[in-house]
Amino acid sequence: MNTKPLSGKIAFVQGGSRGIGAAISRRLAQEGATIVLTYVSSPDKAAQVVASIEAAGGKAQAVQADSSDAAALTAAIRNVAKSLGRIDILVNNAGVLAMGPLDEFKLEDFDRTLNVNVRSVFVATQEAARHMGDGGRVINIGSVNADRMPFAGGTAYAMSKSALIGLTKGLARDLGARGITVNNVQPGPVDTDMNPDGSDFSGALKGMMAIGRYGKVEEIASFVAYLAGPEAGYITGASLTADGGFGA
């Protein structure tokens, strides 16, 4: 008897080739879901994630789709839904981090931050919801910096992640009547390529945390897996923090 909670589910993970996204892809596959993950410029890393899922007995495929390109992202989701029949779980993990002094910050970096961190979430959810039924799940990956930006230079990033809070609430209202939940996971400092543990910057961040260590990608993935599962059906419109006490 198959007792995996996500058995038979189709999960689309945008930005699933590395870091938190790769861990989410692996964990959802472990829970029984068929995974489709997107990548932009890392086909080798995407292939490695797919291979690791298949080696563990799961099903996965990778598709190239730039999250800043609304047409490409929409087409990718539509094609997956057509080939696999539907989408049950959407994880909006794609994100960029551009930092710099306010008087030197480039407008193109501001626009790309909005396009990837905010607009792609709206675009992907709008299309995926067309192929979701009752019990569908949308999970956005935000950041604790939506609530606390303790250093200079992160204005655009903090703004984009704060926008996800309102977007999540609005989408939860839009989709709630259809039995689809929408939630926002806000990680604190997590050991990834974007923000590696052991960097010159990591010591200062650890000093701001109650636990005093970086998070592991698997810890965020387990949180996402819970929200994607049947036991989380009463949670929607929420921004839920997993930050080691960064905001405490």
What local confidence, expressed as pLDDT, does residue 135 receive? 96
Percent of the chain past pLDDT 90, that is, above it, reads 94
CATH at residue 81:
3.40.50.720
**Structural domain includes residue 238:** yes
Catalytic site residue from 157, 214, 226, 234: 157
User: Residue 83, Cα to own-chain centre: how many angstroms?
Assistant: 23
**The dihedral of CA 91, 109, 200, 193: what is its sign?**
positive
What local confidence, expressed as pLDDT, does residue 195 receive? 86
What distance in Å separates the CA atoms of residue 29 and residue 27, rounded to the nearest whole number? 5
**Structural domain includes residue 14:** yes
Alpha helices in the chain (DSSP H): 19-30, 43-55, 70-84, 107-114, 120-129, 155-176, 202-206, 217-228
Q: State the total domains in the chain.
A: 1
**Structural domain includes residue 248:** no
**Structural domain includes residue 144:** yes
**Structural domain includes residue 214:** yes
Tell me the two tokens of residue 76. Answer: 């990718």
Range of the domain at 61: 10-242
What local confidence, expressed as pLDDT, does residue 185 receive? 98
**Structural domain includes residue 99:** yes
Per run of 10 residues, the mean pLDDT along the chain (length 248 residues) is: 89 97 98 98 96 98 97 98 98 96 97 98 98 98 96 96 98 98 97 88 92 96 98 98 95
Tell me the two tokens of residue 229. Answer: 């599962």
What distance in Å separates the CA atoms of residue 220 and residue 153, rounded to the nearest whole number? 25
Instruction: Calculate the dihedral angle through the C-alpha atoms of 116, 121, 127, 132, rounding to the nearest 10 degrees.
Output: 150
Active site residue 157: yes
**Structural domain includes residue 224:** yes
**Structural domain includes residue 232:** yes
